[in-house]
């Protein structure tokens, strides 16, 4: 019978007495590499989160962009510089239809003043209020007389009849008469006529009258053009 040395017996016994738990405690190269990869990924994720937090703290641009987006959204939804809370008195802009505060004097949407025509009319002087009711009937009659003179001159030219300036003299007399009545009408309406020119200076009178009554210069320009045409036909 062959005997095994004692040392070998001890080694065999130790190998046999190893439990599964002791085997699991032993780390292999594959396990070590896997643990290192997991640790590297966790470290990289932590660094990225720290970098993002650092950028958010030191770079206000994202916050500014979000603030500007909110401002533009509020402006588009009608909640701009004037915030309208529930229960506040509001009114509608007569120009664009926007809803604004009742105490607002200017629309925040179309930038138009919200004064009503009645209040604007009250702010005008009595003379300027009368200007809105001034009639242009006498000025219109001056233009009609000029048109008739052109027709008379054309007929005279066809009939070879020379008026020798008689038509132009009649035009000036009738126009001066109409302007005289027009000046009296302005005085009755409370409009000062001291700035008006003489009724004989018809174009000057018409220009100054338009400025005084906030009217149009169309009458003065039309009178000059038609009068020149009439004279040219008469002399032709």
| The predicted structure's pLDDT at residue 41 | 62
What's the pLDDT tens digit per position in 107-135?
Answer: 877 777 776 544 444 444 444 444 445 68
Spatial distance between the Cα atoms of 89 and 144, rounded to a whole number of angstroms: 55
Give the Cβ contact number of residue 15 at 10 Å. Answer: 8
| The predicted structure's pLDDT at residue 31 | 61
- 200 and 170 Cβ atoms separated by less than 8 Å: no
Spatial distance between the Cα atoms of 64 and 75, rounded to a whole number of angstroms: 16
For the chain, the residue count is 236
Helix (H, G, I), strand (E, B) or coil at 106: strand
Give the Cβ contact number of residue 100 at 10 Å. Answer: 20
Domain ranges of the chain: 28-68, 85-123, 133-235
What's the pLDDT tens digit per position in 180-194?
Answer: 999 998 888 888 788
What's the pLDDT tens digit per position in 40-95?
Answer: 666 665 555 555 554 544 554 544 455 455 544 444 444 444 566 666 788 888 77
Structure tokens at 179: 């302007």
* List of long-range contacts for 169-175, beta carbons under 8 Å, 24+ apart: 171/145, 171/146, 171/227, 171/230, 172/200, 172/202, 174/142, 174/145, 175/142, 175/145, 175/146, 175/202, 175/223
Over 80: is that where the pLDDT of 144 sits? yes
| The predicted structure's pLDDT at residue 29 | 58
CA distances from 132 to 64, 75, 129, 194, 208 (A): 53, 39, 6, 19, 16
> The pTM is what?
0.44
* % the chain with pLDDT above 70: 54
Closest CA to 227 of 179, 172, 157: 172
Angle formed at CA 71 by CA 67 and CA 76, multiple of 5 degrees: 150
- Please give the torsion angle defined by the CA atoms of residues 66, 67, 69 and 73, in that order, rounded to the nearest 10 degrees: 140
What's the pLDDT tens digit per position in 7-45?
Answer: 444 444 445 544 444 444 455 656 666 667 766 666 665
| The predicted structure's pLDDT at residue 214 | 82
Spatial distance between the Cα atoms of 200 and 183, rounded to a whole number of angstroms: 12
Residues 6+ apart with CB under 8 A from 90: 84, 99, 100, 101, 102
Spatial distance between the Cα atoms of 11 and 104, rounded to a whole number of angstroms: 101
Spatial distance between the Cα atoms of 88 and 103, rounded to a whole number of angstroms: 10
- Identify which has the larger pLDDT, 44 or 229: 229
């Amino acid at each position: 019978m062959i005997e095994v040395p004692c040392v070998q017996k001890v080694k065999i016994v130790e190998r046999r007495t190893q439990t599964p738990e002791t085997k699991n405690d032993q780390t292999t190269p594959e396990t070590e590499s896997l643990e290192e990869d997991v640790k590297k990924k966790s470290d990289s994720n932590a660094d990225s989160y720290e970098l993002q937090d650092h950028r958010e703290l030191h770079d206000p641009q994202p916050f500014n962009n979000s603030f500007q987006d909110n401002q533009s959204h509020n402006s588009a939804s009608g909640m701009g510089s004037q915030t309208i809370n529930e229960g506040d008195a509001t009114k509608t802009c007569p120009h664009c239809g926007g809803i604004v505060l009742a105490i607002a004097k200017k629309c925040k949407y179309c930038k138009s003043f919200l004064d009503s025509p009645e209040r604007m009319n009250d702010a005008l002087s009595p003379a300027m209020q009368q200007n809105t009711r001034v009639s242009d009937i006498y000025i219109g009659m001056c233009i009609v007389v000029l048109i008739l003179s052109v027709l008379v001159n054309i007929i005279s030219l066809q009939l070879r009849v020379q008026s020798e300036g008689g038509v132009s003299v009649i035009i000036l007399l009738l126009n001066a008469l109409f302007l005289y009545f027009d000046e009296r009408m302005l005085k009755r309406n409370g409009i000062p006529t001291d700035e008006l020119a003489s009724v004989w200076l018809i174009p000057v009178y018409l220009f100054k009258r338009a400025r005084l009554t906030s009217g149009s210069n169309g009458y003065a320009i039309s009178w000059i053009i038609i009068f020149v045409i009439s004279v040219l036909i008469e002399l032709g």
